[in-house]
Amino acid sequence: MRRWWRIWASALLAAMAMHAPVQAEDGYDLWLRYQPLPEAQRVAVAPYAHSVVAEERGSDGTIAIAAGEIERGLAGLVGPSDEAAPGSGHVVLIGTAAAPSIAALDLPLTTLGEDGFVIRSVARGGKHMIVVAANRPVGVLYGAFALLRRLQTGADVTAFDLRETPRVALRLLNHWDNLDRTVERGYAGQSIWDWWKLPDYADPRYTDYARANASIGINGAVLNNVNARPDSLTGPWIAKAAKVADVLRPYGIKVYLSARWSAPVELNETATADPLDPAVATWWKAKANEIYRAIPDFGGFLVKANSEGQPGPQDYKRSHADGANMLAAAVAPHGGIVMWRAFVYSQVDPEDRAKQAYSEFKPLDGAFADNVVLQVKNGPIDFQPREPFHPLFGAMPKTPLMIEFQITKEYLGFATHLAYLAPMWEEALGADTYAKGKGSTVAKVVDGSLERHRLTGMAGVANIGSDRNWSGSTFDQANWYAFGRLAWDHALSSEAIAREWAAQTFAPDPAVVDPVVAMMLESRQAVVDYMTPLGLAHLMATGHHYGPGPWVSDLARPEWNPVYYHRADREGIGFDRTASGSNAVAQYAPPVARRFADRSRVGDDYLLWFHHVGWDERMASGRSLWAELVHRYDRGVASVADMQARWAALEPRIDDARFEQVTRFLAIQRQEATWWRDASIAYFADVSKRPLPEGVRPPAHDLDHYKAISHPFAPGHH
């Protein structure tokens, strides 16, 4: 009886399995889905699927991962097929010059550096080979992922002739993850680092994290929040970080830690944190030694000092250079670095906040040790939807500067709004500092080519969490992806990156890729328009920064209040940063300063960032400033409606789960864009005492309604 029951049950299960969908698209696979290729390409790729040759496979973990990835990828791309007869003379050959078959090919590897790779199609002696070669195993891994990316986006297997090297050395994620697993400005669940169970248990997810990062060239992760706790530098926490480092290492990813300046004092191990006190330097040296014993390839420290209430060397009347150099000396013997953040503004300084970092750091140019790099946010305030480039870029020729972007969308709608950020980053990297004449772009400062710096890098504040789909939404995965791709090669266009992401994430079909890319490319300007048009900034609600709060004026420090930034009154709006105002323009090289200071040349995008403009003044469009502002808010909402329409038309081509979630998130975005628009217009109409331009829809509610909205439990705020 029991036996019959078992047979019946297994038959039922088998039948169910046959009818189950091939794969549920819950977003976990990111851009590494490896779905079957279109037929013609599939037939061309199939013969390679079962013959990946990697002679170093047994001796090197990274090569083994690369080979396994190609096998996994090809199996998915080809699907079950008969074309894949082993011995058909088709081979994927991967390795470094230490592999005899690679050495025999005599490839030009010398100029590839540490991380570069070549991919070649080689036909020789009746054999068809795809060769992936590099100087180091990690280069082979990058090449493996590049090969799979190319195949998924339509490459011809017989015509590979590719050579890539990354433009910057440090391609890092900065996790703002706390030790209790909350994430500062995180909107994708809890921290992926399950600290409590570490080091005894390492979640398999760390491996998938490493794999996803390696696939886009990311080679470092700062594990903990810049607002750091001293605890993360104690023995038990070093052991936890070491375990994570062990998992990430074969993927070419180094671990870094944020260090709290006052840690030795708070841990009761020194009496002071004065960087010039020998006991303090000794403590940090010993601490570095302890960390390197546990993590031999530890990357180094990231430090937020004397900013937003964090302790730092200035508490002891020492400079940022004194502080950075003392830490740098502690990690230097191990090859470590210090990333010192330039995001500083003082609690007590009345100077225009946009000027403070430059005033603080510019005089220190040349004072930093060789293994210190300054980490500078893309703009002078704080990750706003649009900012001009940070004036420190180009202003400190003797100091390596890495750029910091925020991938997580603290100021751009958290995880529900669709905002593809690559256009913003492209804009910052492409900005011309004129530091050494025309063409001295921020990108050239960051990649070191302008001043021949070797310590170069990009950091992105991660948007990764414990959510099944990693980033809180499908389209936020694109921001993680784009950050990695731009860090690898800042010359890639945001459109090209969107195309390859969409092809891999949804389908390579142009009927999918084209509309998805169109949505992505319009999305960032849409957010600018409905939140902070025409160069406005920092008008978000207090604390969590979700939703509008342009009226807020009662916070303790002037620069915490939106009214500080927009300066709207009966006559006009905008922050005068020309010579008649804060003169922040003078921090830029003269040709840039002249353009920003010139009302007729600054352009609409930065107008109110640099100028206080009368409500009735004429804009390039012919509208008054007031009418233009209202128009921008309306345009932003209209763009969201446009994205909704494009997405709706994709229903037959997208899997149900992801289609449905994006649809709902776009509806939230539409609703909230309208909220931003209505609240902002209600407020500025009240301040300016101007009637709404003709034909404009009045806000749905009065100003008090919007002022009364509060969100005490918005995520990401601690």
Applying CB under 6 A, the residues found at the interface with ligand BDP are: 184-185, 226-227, 304, 343, 382-383, 410
- Cβ-based neighbour number of residue 301 at 10 Å: 26
User: Among positive and negative, which fits the CA dihedral 576, 578, 581, 585?
Assistant: positive
Closest distance between ligand BDP and the C-beta of residue 463, in Å?
14
Q: Residue 715: helix, strand or coil by DSSP?
A: coil
User: Is residue 382 flagged as an active site residue?
Assistant: yes
Q: Which is nearer to ligand BDP, 410 or 500 (CB)?
A: 410
| Burial (CB count within 10 angstroms: exposed 0-12, middle 13-18, buried 19+), residue 15 | exposed
In terms of DSSP H, where are the helices of 79-116? 100-105
Closest separation in Å from C-beta 715 to ligand BDP: 12
SS3 annotation, 363-401: HHCCCCCCCEEEEEECCCCCCCCCCCCCCCCCCCCCCCE
In the complex with ligand BDP, which residue's Cβ is closer, 260 or 304? 304
At its nearest, how many Å lie between ligand BDP and the CB of residue 325? 22
The verdict on whether 308 is a catalytic residue reads: yes
Residue nearest to ligand BDP as judged by C-beta position: 382
- Return the axis-axis angle of helices 235-248 and 205-215, rounded to nearest 10°: 60
Smallest separation (angstroms) from ligand BDP to the CB of 662? 27
CB of 448 to ligand BDP, least distance (A): 23
Burial state string for 60-83 with b = 16 or more CB within 10 A and e = fewer than 16: bebbbbbbebbbebbebbbeebee
* Residue among 99 and 462 whose Cβ is closer to ligand BDP: 462
Contact 597, 588 (CB under 8 A): no
Which member of 29, 55, 404, 410 is catalytic? Answer: 410
353 vs 453, which CB is nearer to ligand BDP? Answer: 353
Q: Which of 156, 180, 308, 569 is catalytic?
A: 308
Name the one residue in this structure whose structure tokens are 């763009």: 639
252-to-172, 207, 372, 483, 608 alpha-carbon distances in Å: 12, 12, 22, 17, 44
Q: Please answer whether residues 95 and 56 qualify as being in contact, where contact means their C-beta atoms are separated by less than 8 angstroms.
A: yes
Cβ proximity to ligand BDP: between 164 and 184 the closer is 184
Measured distance CA(331)–CA(404) in Å, rounded? 22
Decide if 53 contacts 122 (C-beta within 8 A): no
SS3 of 257, please?
strand
How many Cα atoms within 13 Å fall on the side-chain side of residue 175?
Answer: 25
Please name the helix (run of DSSP H) or strand (run of DSSP E) that holds residue 475, with its range, or none.
helix 474-488
CB closer to ligand BDP out of 543 and 603 = 543
Cα separation, 206 vs 223, in Å, equals 12
Measured from the CB atom, is 117 or 411 closer to ligand BDP? 411
Q: Is residue 432 among the annotated active site residues? A: no
Distance of CA 172 to the CA centre of its chain: 9
Nearest-angstrom CA–CA distance, 402 and 375? 5
Say whether 1 sits in a helix, a strand or coil. coil
Which distant-in-sequence residues (6+ apart) come within 8 Å of 258 by Cβ?
Answer: 174, 222, 223, 224, 225, 226, 227, 228, 232, 301, 302, 303, 304
Cβ neighbours for 510, distance < 8 A, ≥ 6 positions apart: none
Encoding tokens for residue 411? 């100021």
Least distance in angstroms from the C-beta of 344 to ligand BDP: 9
Name the active-site residue from 184, 382, 447, 576. Answer: 382
Task: For 116-173, give the DSSP string.
Answer: -EEEEEEEETTEEEEEEEESSHHHHHHHHHHHHHHHHTT--GGG-EEEE--S-SEEEE
Torsion of CA 332, 337, 342, 346, to 10 degrees: -60
Nearest distance from residue 309's CB to ligand BDP, in Å? 10
Q: Which is nearer to ligand BDP, 138 or 528 (CB)?
A: 528
Q: Which is nearer to ligand BDP, 223 or 226 (CB)?
A: 226
Q: Hunting for tokens 């096998």 — which residue is that? A: 71
CB 135 within 8 A of CB 109: yes
Min. distance of Cβ 382 from ligand BDP in angstroms?
4
Of the candidates 457, 424, 429, 458, the residue with the CA atom closest to the CA atom of residue 442? 429
In the complex with ligand BDP, which residue's Cβ is closer, 382 or 559?
382
* Nearer of residues 139 and 186 to ligand BDP, judged by Cβ: 186
CA atoms within 13 A on the CB side of 162: 27
- Closer of 227 and 359 to ligand BDP (Cβ): 227
Contacts of 649 (CB under 8 A, 6+ apart): 515
Cite the active site residues.
Answer: 308, 382, 410
